[in-house]
Amino acid sequence: MLKVLLVCILSCLIIYVGQLVWRKGKTTFIAGYGKMFTPKNEKQLAKGFGIIIMLFGLESIIFPILSLFFDGLGVYYGFLVVLNFFALFGVMIKDQVQGEA
């Protein structure tokens, strides 16, 4: 039970970080920023990243609580982590394709 509480607290921190990314509109934390990747619309990119980070935090709260009642949820959680990873790449690709539009 203590592990679930710790994970929930850390998940709240992840949600807070996602909210900061969304509100501040800064994406300088992205690997390769300015060298390999330059955002065309940084505010829109930060909003997309912030939403995905907050959703990951929400998933990280829900799954440990559900694991108290159901077994074998780790596979589904791992699947959602991979989907979040691809969603981040999708947001980056969308930024490069759409730009300032």
Q: Number of structural domains, the chain?
A: 1
pLDDT above 60: residue 101: no
pLDDT above 70: residue 32: no
pTM: 0.84
Q: Given this model, what pLDDT does residue 85 score?
A: 93
- Residues spanned by the domain of 89: 2-98
Integer CA distances (angstroms), 77 to 32, 56, 66, 73, 87, in order: 28, 10, 11, 6, 15
pLDDT in tens, 36-84: 777 888 888 889 999 999 999 999 999 988 888 988 888 999 999 999 9
pLDDT in tens, 2-31: 888 899 999 999 999 999 889 988 777 776
Q: What is the residue-wise DSSP string for 10-78?
A: HHHHHHHHHHHHHHH---TTSTTBTTTB--SSHHHHHHHHHHHHHHHHHHHHHHHHHHTT-S--HHHHH
